[in-house]
């Protein structure tokens, strides 16, 4: 069961990274809207990616690679 969750988590993180790569710098809300994920779930993924160093936070709630 945890392998299934890990694969799903990795898939969403990869989608977020590729979306940011295509549209950077991008407002965090645009990520949630375009990927059709909840704000809570999306924010958890974005914060996780920032903490891992895969995304960088810019001013005014924008992120970039």
Q: Tell me: the pLDDT tens digits for 26-47?
A: 999 999 999 999 999 999 999 9
pTM of the predicted structure, to 2 decimals:
0.82
Structural domains in the chain?
2-64 (1.10.10.10)
Residue 18, pLDDT score: 95
Q: Quick one: DSSP state of residue 2?
A: H
- C-alpha angle 58-27-15 in degrees, rounded to nearest 5: 105
First CA to last CA distance, the chain: 31
* pLDDT band (50, 70, 90) for residue 5: low
**31 closest CA partner among 41, 7, 60:** 41
**49 closest CA partner among 2, 36, 24:** 24
């Amino acid at each position: 069961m945890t392998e299934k969750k890990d694969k799903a988590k990795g898939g969403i993180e990869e989608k977020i990274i590729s979306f940011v790569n295509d549209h950077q710098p991008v407002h965090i809300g645009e990520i949630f809207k375009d990927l059709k994920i909840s704000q809570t779930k999306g924010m958890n993924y974005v914060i996780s990616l920032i903490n891992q160093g895969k995304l960088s936070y810019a001013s005014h709630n924008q992120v970039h690679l």
